[in-house]
Amino acid sequence: MILIADSGSTKTEWSLIAKDKDIRNFQTIGFNPYFIDSAGVEEELEKNLLPYVNEMQISKVFFYGSGCSNLQKKDVIREPLERFFRLAEVEVEHDLLAAARSLCGYEKGIACILGTGSNSCLYDGKDIIENVESVGYMFGDEGGGAYIGKQLITAYLRNELPKELRIKFEIKYPYRFNHILDAVYKQAFPNRFLASFSPFLSENIEHPFVNHIIFDAFDKFFNYQVSHYTNFHDFELNCTGSIGFHYKKILEKAAQKWNLKIGIIEKTPMKGLVNYHKR
């Protein structure tokens, strides 16, 4: 049996491919090694994955995760996986390779992630050959949920939200000035907190102020990341992640400004990864 994991900062999707090609799906919290240690991974595996998976029947584990960009961070995830799946070959890779394999398969293209954070790469059909380094939600992540949420919250805190949006915001959320600052500066996972405001933006997407926030985020994503790839106009732009998926029309509009050809847009890479590894 093959076990595939696609892990972001918020959640991890798991797919178990049996010998008869039957597929079972599970979900746990996100395993980003910048926000969780090996003990935390081990605890979550034991509590929410192993009750549903016979670890002795797993022959291969393919784990793709945000934050798994170097050997040290990969080991945070690999070590507990190898302890639990003792008979399995474990491969831990960056979630960007998951996006590329899922969206492009064996073809050349640009693969993007627009979820809680954002990232992108130029893929040659086998390997990632160019990558503009993601600098995280504090310094970048343009086009991602945390970045978009930050623009909304900044406008709210500075009293720059249009009156009708401010009223809706305060009805929907109990958060006020001090609570927001505490959540961002003192509590765990501030990127998840900021990204959690995406549903509010989605509900008010027709409002010009909200529409501008989303368009501007994608425009900056193309400017700071995609446009830096060699001959970027020659490749289709493919995207996975909830933000790119739910705001597809605005993403396509921003892409037109940059004369970019849009290819596949999927909410998650798992379907493509299952097809890739079944082959």
pLDDT of residue 20: 65
pLDDT of 221 reads 95
Q: Cα–Cα–Cα angle for 204, 209, 210, nearest 5°?
A: 40
Domain locations along the chain: 2-98+271-278
Q: Which amino acid is at 235?
A: F
pLDDT attached to residue 137: 67
pLDDT of the residue at 133: 81
Provide the b/e sequence for 154-191 (b: ≥16 CB within 10 Å): ebbeeeebeeebeebbeeeeebeeeebeebeeeeebbb
- Give tens-digit pLDDT for 62-101: 999 988 888 999 999 999 999 988 899 999 998 899 999 9
Measured CA to CA, the distance from residue 150 to residue 136 in angstroms comes to 13
To the question of pTM greater than 0.85 for the whole model, the response is: no
Correct CATH for 2-98+271-278 of 3.40.30.10, 3.40.190.10, 3.30.420.40, 3.40.605.10: 3.30.420.40
Write down the pLDDT at residue 207: 96
Residues of the chain where predicted confidence (pLDDT) is lower than 50: none
